Structure 1
Amino acid sequence: MDAQVHKLATETLSRYEALTQELSDPSIFDDQNRYREVAKEHGRMKKGADLSRAYVDAISEAAEAKELIPTADGAEEREFYSEEAREAEARSDELAEEIRTELIDRDPNDDKDVIVEIRAGAGGDEAALFASELQEMYARYADRLGFKHSVLSSSPAEMGGYREVVMEVEGDRAFSFYKHEGGTHRVQRVPKTESQGRIHTSTATVAVLPEAEDVEVEVNQGDLEIDVYRSSGPGGQSVNTTDSAVRITHKPTGLVVTCQNEKSQLQNKEQAMKILKSRLLEREMMERAKEEGAMRLAQVGSGDRSAKIRTYNFPQGRITDHRINHTSHNMEATFAGNLDEFTNALAAAERSEKLAAEANNAAESN
């Protein structure tokens, strides 16, 4: 029995049962903020609690079967109880590994909603079109997962597509599904505007940020410079006739966020603050983990064609993820939002790296 896993499993069950009891108390609805907090934590813990309950049950079954072995009536019955004990122990070992993955080794940001920022890189008009296709791909992926998604901010390009688009995805462990998408994506194909039939290479950069919760990031209103202006579309034409667009500058860091997608100035301000808080959280995380190289800088790089994590080669119908040397020929399915092939392969690689690091650390400490 893994003592660390057993302790965590019992603690998880205790906490989950306490949350379940709190949710069953009608008075919790008197405080909607508390209700949302408890409901969110309860939902987040369900998988871990289910695994923990199965693990504790398997440990108990193994112990009971072992206790019955000495009282068995004959060799056949002893073997029966011994086999039951072996099966329960094997099941508990498997569950312990799942619990370790779910509760110990998991990225603490995995439970959060996510903000995905996509920017056209090298390649001009074609890069802007590619940025739009990536945004649509991620929206379809969210639809497949049953997640909510919305565009928080966008800057359309004159010939179509986006110079920049920021989207929010809300769902159970949304960040865990999107976090490996951060980096420079490269597309190789013949643009519609290319009369000679030559293959062009364009890029778009993707940054994936865990959405910041209010308790994690405090923003001093005195540190903000807020400007309002009339929103505009491609070519500078006016979209709204009121000053509804919002630009927020965080003076201590120099971070600037603009939002003009909503008709209401208040809504645009709320969207801009959401993005700003996530960028501030990312900045704080980067400062805490510089040696590990976290978030946007590690994900995005320079945006140059050579700094790539994945290549979409249309002439050959091939997608290659360069981080794990994984190649897929499911181009149509991928852009239709079926990213499971890449998500699962990258999650497995992340898990292997963590296990290898744990093994190295254990070897060095001995």
Structure 2
Amino acid sequence: MDAQDGIAEAETLLQDSDPSMRSLAHEELTALQSEIAQLLTQRLPTLLLPPSSTASLGAMIELKAGVGGDEAALFVEQVMRMYLRYAQAKGWRTEILSKTSGAIGTGTGTGLKDVTLKVDGVGAFGDFRWERGVHRVQRVPATESAGRVHTSTIAVVFQETKVSSPMAAQVLPVMEKTTETADDIVDEKDVKTEVMRSRGAGGQHVNKTESAVRLTHIPTGISVSMQDSRSQHQNKAWAWQILRARLLDQKMIQQAQDRRKTRQSQVKGMDRSDKVRTYNFPQDRVTDHRIGMTLTGLDAVLEGEGLEGVIRELKEHHRGLRMESLLETGEDLEE
């Protein structure tokens, strides 16, 4: 007997002359109505909406400090740690491909001007994709004698952009070269490869071998430089991974834009250029502006544990937008 038949029978028993039978029917009716509501809100969307073609991929995360100075560099380091701990809890493998220390004059920490992380694990991109956009941190710096709250921001985006905020981050889908789709992303004949000696602070050469690598995709002008390893082979391999990820992301963005020309009002809240989240230290709260969610326990989020609940709510919100679009226009908003 399915839920609808059960509801029809329970409604009949509500008219029974026996009070105990009516009470049992009322309880059964409430339970069946709850079951149907759950099927409609959770089960039905999974049947109607196909899974994302990129959700199971790994992720490349790039964080860059901008005009926020020391505070921005310190926040880059904190956000990197948050992502590493989140990935660790998921059982994903992480690797720091490159990083540049920040010029911190406070003595409170080193900070990072930029860092590139690679996260290998099924579902990594499906989770971290929700981190793209402008993030804002509000707190009192250690050097602020008057106790005034300063505001810095970070941005998580899918392609390389000019950074005008205190921290920018890219979340890129990682696709291995051995897959057919990855080979379709870029033709190696379209890529110019340059090798050079690695440079340190102030532009001085830090080694005598040409281990640094720069790849330039001629059709798009996208360029990737890598010099963190002393091995030219390793630097070249990392640069190719980042280049493929950026080109795949660019392709995904273009496809999404083509599908959304008539649906911009629905997805504005998910636009990567919008401010997405605020971390307010004095009030111990985190606000995600895309879904209007505010929660306390900022430390739990920065430790990675509380981030899972935020990402889960963002997924539910996006699934709702997809259902709305599918029912109204027959088009799926999924990228």
- What TM-score results when the alignment is normalised by the length of structure 1? 0.66
Q: Which runs of 5+ in 1 are unaligned?
A: 1-57, 63-82, 302-306
| Corresponding residue to 1:211 among 169, 174, 194 | 174
| Contact 1:158/1:235, CA 8 A, preserved across alignment | no
User: Distance in 1 between the 2:129 and 2:198 partners?
Assistant: 31
| Corresponding residue to 1:154 among 79, 88, 99 | 99
1:261 aligns with 228
> Cα distance, 1:181 vs. partner?
0.7
> Cα distance, 1:356 vs. partner?
1.6
Range that drifts further, 113-122 or 98-107: 98-107
User: Distance in 1 between the 2:40 and 2:326 partners?
Assistant: 19
1:175 aligns with 125
User: Distance in 2 between the 1:102 and 1:211 partners?
Assistant: 27
| Contact 1:110/1:173, CA 8 A, preserved across alignment | yes
Equivalent residue runs for 1:212-361 within 5 Å: 212-214=175-177, 215-217=180-182, 218=184, 219-236=186-203, 239-291=206-258, 292=260, 300-301=272-273, 307-338=274-305, 339-361=307-329
| Contact 2:59/2:119, CA 8 A, preserved across alignment | yes
Identify if the C-alpha distance between structure 1 residues 335 and 238 changes in structure 2 by more than 3 Å, giving closer, same or farther. farther
| Contact 2:195/2:211, CA 8 A, preserved across alignment | yes
| Contact 1:118/1:164, CA 8 A, preserved across alignment | yes
Range that drifts further, 218-227 or 263-272: 218-227
Asked whether 1:196 is paired with 2:152, we answer no
User: Distance in 1 between the 2:204 and 2:153 partners?
Assistant: 27
Task: Write the letter of the residue equivalent to 1:242.
Answer: T
Aligned-residue RMSD, C-alpha: 3.0
Identify if the C-alpha distance between structure 1 residues 299 and 165 changes in structure 2 by more than 3 Å, giving closer, same or farther. farther
Range that drifts further, 348-357 or 264-273: 348-357
| Contact 2:45/2:323, CA 8 A, preserved across alignment | no
| Contact 1:182/1:205, CA 8 A, preserved across alignment | yes
Relative CO higher for 1 or 2, CA cutoff 8 Å, sep ≥ 6? 2
User: Distance in 2 between the 1:200 and 1:237 partners?
Assistant: 35
- 1:241-288 CA distances to partner (integer Å, 9 max, x unpaired)? 533222211111110111122221101110010000011111112222
User: Distance in 2 between the 1:239 and 1:99 partners?
Assistant: 59
Of Structure 1 and Structure 2, the greater strand share is in 2
| Contact 1:155/1:233, CA 8 A, preserved across alignment | no
> Cα distance, 1:230 vs. partner?
3.1
1:101 aligns with 46
- 1:173-208 CA distances to partner (integer Å, 9 max, x unpaired)? 111121111111110111223333221111122222
> Cα distance, 1:138 vs. partner?
0.4
> Cα distance, 1:315 vs. partner?
0.9
Identify if the C-alpha distance between structure 1 residues 313 and 287 changes in structure 2 by more than 3 Å, giving closer, same or farther. same
Q: Give the length in aligned residue pairs.
A: 270
User: Distance in 2 between the 1:212 and 1:142 partners?
Assistant: 18
Q: Which runs of 5+ in 2 are unaligned?
A: 6-27, 105-109, 157-169, 265-269, 331-335
Task: Write the letter of the residue equivalent to 2:128.
Answer: Y
User: Distance in 2 between the 1:231 and 1:352 partners?
Assistant: 48
Equivalent residue runs for 1:122-133 within 5 Å: 122-133=67-78
Identity of aligned residues (%): 40
Could you list the runs of 4 or more consecutive aligned residues of structure 1 that deviate by over 6 angstroms after TM superposition?
Answer: none
User: Distance in 1 between the 2:122 and 2:221 partners?
Assistant: 32
1:164 aligns with 114
| Corresponding residue to 2:56 among 86, 104, 111 | 111
User: Distance in 1 between the 2:122 and 2:40 partners?
Assistant: 21
- What TM-score results when the alignment is normalised by the length of structure 2? 0.71
| Contact 1:114/1:169, CA 8 A, preserved across alignment | yes
User: Distance in 2 between the 1:237 and 1:180 partners?
Assistant: 39
2:80 aligns with 135
| Contact 1:186/1:202, CA 8 A, preserved across alignment | yes
